Amino acid sequence: MSEGIDTEHAHSARIYDYIIGGKDHYPADREAGDAMVREWPALPVHMRANRDFMNRAVRYLAQEAGIRQFLDVGSGIPTSPNIHEIAQAVAPESRVVYVDNDPLVLDLSRGLMSGTPEGRTAYIEADMREPAGILDAPAFRETLDPDRPVALAVIAIVHFMLDEDDAVGIVRRLLEPLPEGSYLAMSIGTAEFAPDEVGRVAREYAARGMPMRLRTHAEAAEFFTGLDLVEPGIVQVHKWRPDGTGTEVVRDEDIAMYGAVARKSS
């Protein structure tokens, strides 16, 4: 296992993995996850809905938008199906670059390198707060063709970026070099539907050194300024092109995440 993995303190990616039923977490993550679920019992429903949104968005981008290149920033712990599995099931030649800055994610992502023979997958260890470290990485330049559209996925990560981090500016810098016809797929944390419950969960994260910045619908829309939103626009993740495959009943008040996909037209 890679050096530098802090198992003593809870980590957001491992908490997420624990709550959605993964296996890559430690006692501190489980303690944190249990505390959060006590504060908001719908948290697992919310997190699964976010994951399902990502899967539908990637399938849309591969199947309907014809995208063959994906950049997943803040990828988190690999949970099947991963982006490359979904995209390559549609188009085996699809290429995917995963980005995260957690040593455990790097360790677990080594298995991602085996996609289809026709496609490619790569992993970059970098912090999204420094876009140049992603865009200038050899794995980025060697895996993705800069002249062909790329889908930038930023899923369930910007709520851990505070105002001083300038999340909107960072996403724009990541999009800027991508050619016309590229897409942005995002999910963005909000407290607009269950403010008390989500507020309590946010306090649990903050108590463990992970302060959150939850956004209103208007604030979420700032990420998509200048882009062409795909219908139905910016909606709670469970309302973005539902495909009827979900088995659990999801209430609006159980979801604290906006989701959207938008196209870069110039």
- 165-212 pLDDT, tens digit per residue, is 999 999 999 999 999 999 999 999 999 999 999 999 999 999 999 999
Q: Write the pLDDT tens digit of every residue in 127-177.
A: 999 999 999 999 999 999 999 999 999 999 999 999 999 999 999 999 999
- CATH code for the domain in which residue 62 is found: 3.40.50.150
Domain membership of residue 78 (yes or no) is yes
- 20 domain residue, yes or no: yes
In a domain, 3, yes or no: no
pLDDT (mean) for 235-240:
97
Q: Given this model, what pLDDT does residue 114 score?
A: 64
The answer to whether residue 123 sits within a structural domain is yes
Instruction: Look up the domain containing 42 and give its range.
Output: 12-263
Indicate the range of 3-12, 56-65, 147-156 predicted with least confidence. 3-12
Domain count, the chain: 1
Phi/psi region, residue 233 (left: phi>0; alpha: psi -120 to 50; beta: rest), is: left
State yes or no: pLDDT of 245 exceeds 80.
no
pLDDT tens digits, one per residue of 61-82: 999 999 999 999 998 877 778 8
> Is 189 inside any structural domain?
yes
Residue 4 lies in a domain: no
Location of structure tokens 């939850």: 214
Confirm whether 5 is domain-assigned.
Answer: no
Angle CA 112–93–173, to nearest 5: 70
pLDDT higher than threshold 80 for residue 3 = no
| Residue 69 maps to a domain | yes
